[in-house]
Chains A and B, each alone.
Chain A
Amino acid sequence: MAAPRASRLNIHLQGWLLVLPAVVLLATFTHVPAVETVIDSFFSTPHGKRPAVYIGFDQYRTMLADPVFWLAFRNNLLYALITVPLAIALALLMALWVNGRIKGRAALRLAFFTPTILPMVAAANIWLFFYTPDYGLLNQIIRLFGFESVNWLGSPATALPALMAVTVWKEAGFFMIFFLAALQQVPPVLYEAARMENASSWLVFRRITWPLLMPTTLFVAVNALINAFRVVDQVIAMTGGGPNNATALLLFYIFQVAFSFWDSGYAAALSVVLLSTLAIIAFLQFFLLDRKIHYR
């Protein structure tokens, strides 16, 4: 009896030892900071010799009254609601296209994937030149057609959509790869059967391709949504949150409060809101959508 118990213990020990590096890393860089952030959000910001004191929900009350927070929150929701479906639709279209037997398929796939390889800040700088008034690429094109030059990043109405375009452009190519992989997993017999029934290509897509792609779509949607709330690089590189907070997004605002205003208590409270938002999104997606999805 003693020997098997020892070996079982040994196996448990081995198991724990194997996950130890991952557990330590996750705990140090993710879970402990997350818990500390929640705790910090109930304290005031320490200044010099004035230590942090417990202030309950004061930071959250400030937040409710803070117009910039609400604007950033609203901008971020818009950002998610618009960029996620657009990026997914575009990714799917591109995947369907480069999945077919066409000439120069490899080159096309590479072209669609290129934006993903670029670092965000580099991409943002390229787009800065597209958006530059007067001699930027976009304005040169629209001026050819006789329109006035548009100050894309300098007007509140166009600045946020201009940033969204960069996100869609950058993410669609990445998501295309997942759809492409999924498309190649669809059993060809289904398509053959459909052909024998003389089904239209729209019907094939609606009844075969789309349902079988659902797990991938869910995965991509979760990632895209999370990414939409993690946008910060292009805001810093392209607009700095302006004009007049028109492009302020949650993470950017947190960064500004923490490292420009040095208000770590308030930044912690804002972070808690962001964390909870992300948790709720992930929860809804996994537990509600999951049931409607066909897994093989």
Chain B
Amino acid sequence: MKTSFQSPQQFFRQRRLRLSVVLIILIGIYVTSMALVNFQTWTSIAKIPAGLIWLFHNFIPTERSISYLGPILYQLWRTLLVSISSTIVASLFALIFAILGAKTTTPSPVFRIVIRFGASLLRNIPVVAWAMILLFSFKQSDFTGFLALFFMTLGYLTRAFTETIEDLDAEKLQALQAVGANYFQCVFCGVLPEAASTLTSWVLYMIENNLRDATLVGLLTGTGVGFLFDYYFKSFRYDAAGLIVLLIAILVILLELTSTQIRRAIA
């Protein structure tokens, strides 16, 4: 079908028009939803300075807070270990599931469907819900937190790994088939080396992510640094709670910097 040729002026006028329509729709959605939940934009914005002042006044750590440093660092260390170990264990399982479930390497479409569905289920239950569900079976312990993070990570990484493997150039695997390599040889000599650096990036990202989540999970399972935060907070020791927030932020940033370095080294 050939239409009459469009002038560039017409083309850009139409494009601007389309953009404006999208913008108006977005503003409309915002206004409607704010009205529905009775959210008053201006009065809320006006309250922000006072809120911030209170926050800084109470949560800034003082010299007094230094005495809490020992127990905080100890719990932070445990939380870090739980998030690293849950990520590592989950990534091993995720790798197996991803190889069985990825379009390019699946032994049977049945695996693919089951694994996709299972991973999606695990992933779409929030980590907080996992923690609360598992709390009944495994009580307040580090292991409960470990499991909650494990399930969520397993779901998330299975999906990420599957997509990584599916994004690999299928022709490269065909080249190994052409050599006479069998299934396992193709996976070990082709898929894994090709995907290794991307897979490692995902694992590092999940460790960072899980450290943040571990804090939240700890709040619920009564373990780690999350529990300590909750404890100080409820006993009005806001400066100590503030110190925890600060230390978590520092640790997450350090973790991010380290993983950036590792990623650069293996890329």
Say whether A and B bind each other. Answer: no
On A, residues with C-beta under 8 Å from B are: none
On B, residues with C-beta under 8 Å from A are: none
